[in-house]
């Protein structure tokens, strides 16, 4: 439910992720975007290809705080199954500059 997410950059990120749309996903990010998974910085392109796109990742938002820049969500993909996760986003110039994902 992306209607809980007030920040348009984060909403675009989640919608693109859920649609499996690589082009829209990259468009939601700054060119120098970074990310971390469970506190460890990862290569964004490699991680999203493996954990999102080829494994059919899907994010179901439970709660959104700070205009949607902090989410608790059920995340599922064909590799790991479903898990409760927390996502934090840094937005710059209307795009996601960094996201941090981890188990909630």
Class of domain 2-103: alpha beta
Here the tokens at position 41 are: 């910085």
Give residue-wise pLDDT tens across range 54-92: 999 999 999 999 999 999 999 999 999 999 999 999 999
CA Rg, the chain, in Å?
12
Report the b/e string of 11-33 with b at 16+ CB within 10 A.
bbbbbbbbeeeeeebeebbbeeb
Mean pLDDT, rounded, of the chain:
96
Give residue-wise pLDDT tens across range 21-33: 999 999 999 999 9
Here the tokens at position 73 are: 């969500």
Q: Which residues contact 39 (CB under 8 A, 6 or more apart)?
A: 100, 102
What distances in angstroms separate CA 21 from CA 1, 12, 60, 83, 104, one per listed residue? 17, 11, 16, 22, 25
pLDDT at residue 3, as a whole number: 83
Q: How far apart are CA 91 and CA 100, in angstroms?
A: 12
Q: What global pTM score does this model have?
A: 0.95
pLDDT at 1 over 70: no
């Amino acid at each position: 439910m992306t209607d809980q997410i007030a920040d348009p950059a984060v909403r675009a990120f989640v919608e693109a992720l859920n649609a499996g749309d690589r082009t829209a996903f990259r468009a939601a990010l700054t060119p120098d975007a970074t990310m971390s998974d469970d506190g460890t910085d990862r290569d964004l392109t490699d991680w999203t290809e493996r954990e999102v796109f080829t494994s059919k990742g899907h994010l179901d938002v439970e709660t959104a705080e700070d205009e949607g820049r902090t989410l608790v969500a059920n995340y599922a993909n064909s590799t790991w199954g479903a898990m409760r996760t927390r996502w934090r986003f840094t937005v710059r110039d209307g795009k996601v500059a960094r996201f941090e994902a981890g188990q909630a």
